[in-house]
A and B are shown apart, each in its own frame.
Chain A
Amino acid sequence: MSIITLNGISKVYRTKEIETTALENVNLSVDKGEFISIMGPSGCGKSTLLNIVGLLDKPTIGSVNILGEDCSRFTDNALSHFRNANLGFVFQSFHLIPSLNVAANVEMPLLYRNGVSASERKERVEKVLERLEMSHRIKHLPSQLSGGQCQRVAIARAIVGQPEIILADEPTGNLDSKMGSEVMELLHRLNREDGVTIIMVTHNEAQARETDRIVRFFDGRIIS
């Protein structure tokens, strides 16, 4: 069963002088529980695609259907709520909030969800950090963590709201290979245990081969 369907997606960036076609007529469908990797040379539109699936950006042409909803017509408010409920983001450079400790960083998505009490938030944060073996760092600031630990916290933040879909843009791009493979293991575990759907952009062939499917891009088009 398809959880994400992209239909005829094109994305054109217009600046004063130039027009860049980042995506051209992309059709893609992802099944529930699938773990897919997106590969391709730099500038071929991988991040653009992920942003569109993540409802952070709108396609110039085409429709985005997630969990049976046509998201193209959502208001900004509806998009925010939809992202909060269904999507989790993992970034290459973690993007933890530097002023907040690990617990507060992980708690953040729950703040934007109605009807989650403070005690419930605390409980969920503790549970997810325990699961990712980060409980001993709960009061640390991001600056006091290693890159691998930061990415673990970022993943904890992405899953604390129990979204259906995780979007990860080069999650191991800033990590050495040992920490990288730890993060990959973690993502596979979440995919396996929770059945969460994962779309990951990567430049690492070995990592990509371990996922269910590889989607290859070139110049804004899917080539395989």
Chain B
Amino acid sequence: MKTKLVQILYDMRHQPVIGWVTIIGTAMAIFLIMVVTMIQEVAVTPFAPESCRDRLLVGVYMHVAGENGHDGSSGLNQKTARRIYAGLEGIEHTSFMQFRSEPADVKGPTNDAFTVQTRRADAEFWNIFDHELIEGRYYTPEEADATSKVAVISESTARRLFGSQNRVGNTFMINHTPYTVVGVVADNSSLALTGSGEVFIPTGINDESLNYDNEWSGDVAAAMLVKDGVDFETIRDQVKARYAAFDTELSVKGERTVYHEQPYDQRTIASGLHGSNNSPDPESDRKIRMAIYLILLLVPAINLSTMLHSRMRHRISEIGVRRAFGCTRTRLIADIITENFIVTLIGGVIGLLLGVVFASTYGGLYDTMDNFGSGNTPSLSVLLNINTILMSLLFCFILNIISAAIPAWQASRLNPINAINARK
């Protein structure tokens, strides 16, 4: 082990370019892997306000096809959302709410208007998404049903509107309509697709503003907290039955629903829903991800393999001498791979550090891209969880095996005498 480190340092000193290209190449590869894993992880790992992700199902979009050639998907209106998703067996809480947050202009007593992300949701929303209450209270079911002009706002929105005092009970404007603040919650990240927001406004069955102008479509989705241990499929079976029931009504107009595996779990939501007319296909998602990993792996592996090959060329005579003194072929291969693994690990650690730096700025970056000014980034432990680190380690290892295999095998097939006498 020590002599291997000595060897690596020696190589670094004598072939610095090859050494640095190897290490930086590995670092970049591991860094990219980490970013990809992180983006993947942040989409499914639970963190506030979506600590419930493992038990979260979201019913969103309905696909309706008609004999008249009409064929399209949309969100649901207040009534239809409840027809399909209210009171399902095995669900602890169901919230009827906007699936996507929506930008709106807000204005406090003394400042200019600015844009925030608003989300309309009923009061059950607070039982599903864990928004930390800093001041005041959440709005109540009564307020939701009455579509009261009250709001729960995030800490930094509160600060921008009112400063640090007299926030609960104070009034501000949302698109020129006055609302009264009843509660202030902690800042949260737009990486929490379903649960995040800067201003939350009550909505209920009577809130017409989320209904569109046909029988069933609107901007309402159902977020559901599944009871512990309940199989998501049993929920889907019920929803399918509700679709079928709804069909009898639609058939009058010559239309029918097309069921697409609703409601969706976090993994499906993370893969990006666009209200499409197709069923989500986690399998093809997985394939694409695998392909990305494969490319991220193969490109540096080929590069590293060439580097190692060139490092070995300078050590052919050493290999011959070692063989003369009794090093077996397998031992030689094992030694080369171990040595290379140390190099890969060094690169890997540098990549990991780059990843940490990235992780600590990533949430902010994402929020900026998403016009979500005040989002609180998910903690480092979410971005840099054990999966991400294990994944990088695994990649280091695979990268090493792929890149070292051929040079090591070639070295082991050298004829000792030719090797000993090889010119450097």
Contact = CB atoms under 8 A, between A and B. Distances in A.
Contacts of B415: 57
Interface string B328-351: 111100000000000000000000
B11 interface: yes
Interface in A102-125: 104, 108-109, 111-113
Contacts of B317: 95
B324 to A, nearest CB: 5
B417 interface: yes
A51 interface: yes
A186 interface: no
A218 interface: no
Contacts of A80: 323, 326-329
B7 A100 contact: yes
A97 interface: yes
B416 to A, nearest CB: 5
Interface string B1-44: 00100110011001000000000000000000000000000000
Contacts of A108: 322, 325
A135 interface: no
Looking at B10, B318, B324, B330, the one whose CB has the most chain A CB atoms below 10 A away is: B324
A91 B147 CA distance: 94
Interface in B359-373: none
A99 B424 CA distance: 14
A91 B420 contact: yes
A104 B7 CA distance: 11
Contact of A104 (B6, B322, B327): B6
A112 B331 CA distance: 8
A83 B420 contact: no
B328 A112 contact: yes
B134 to A, nearest CB: 60
B325 A84 contact: yes
Interface residues of A, number: 27
A19 interface: no
A56 B325 contact: no
A170 to B, nearest CB: 13
A99 B329 contact: no
A84 B326 contact: yes
A57 B7 contact: no
B328 to A, nearest CB: 4
Contacts of B330: 77
Contact of B420 (A76, A95, A100, A157): A95
Interface in B403-424: 415-417, 420
Contacts of A81: 326, 328
Contacts of A100: 3, 6-7
B321 interface: yes
A89 interface: yes
Interface string A151-171: 000000100010000000000
Interface string B299-328: 000000000000000000110111111111
Contacts of A43: none
Contacts of A89: 321, 324-325
Contacts of B322: 108, 112
B328 A76 contact: yes
Contacts of B321: 89, 91, 95, 97
A104 B2 CA distance: 10
Given A97-B318, A99-B7, A99-B11, A109 B325 contact: yes
A98 interface: yes
B132 to A, nearest CB: 56
A54 interface: yes
A80 B332 CA distance: 11
Contacts of A215: none
A85 interface: yes
A108 B318 CA distance: 11
Contacts of A77: 328-330
B287 to A, nearest CB: 43
A176 to B, nearest CB: 23
A104 B318 CA distance: 13
B10 A98 contact: yes
A25 B318 CA distance: 32
Q: From B318, B321, B331, B417, name the one whose CB has the most chain A CB atoms within 10 angstroms.
A: B321
A83 B325 contact: yes
B10 A104 contact: no
Nearest to B420: A95
A104 B330 CA distance: 21
7 smallest A-B Cβ distances: which pairs?
A: A84-B326, A99-B10, A112-B326, A109-B325, A80-B328, A56-B416, A95-B321
Interface of A: 51, 54, 56-57, 76-77, 80-81, 83-85, 89, 91, 95, 97-101, 104, 108-109, 111-113, 157, 161
29 contacts: A56-B324, A56-B416, A76-B329, A77-B328, A77-B329, A80-B327, A80-B328, A80-B329, A81-B326, A83-B324, A83-B326, A85-B326, A89-B321, A91-B420, A95-B318, A95-B420, A97-B318, A97-B321, A99-B6, A99-B10, A99-B11, A99-B14, A100-B6, A109-B325, A111-B327, A112-B322, A157-B325, A161-B325, A161-B326
Given A80-B328, A109-B325, A161-B326, 19 more contacts: A56-B416, A57-B415, A76-B328, A80-B323, A80-B326, A80-B327, A80-B329, A81-B326, A84-B325, A84-B326, A85-B326, A89-B324, A89-B325, A91-B420, A99-B14, A112-B322, A112-B327, A112-B328, A161-B325
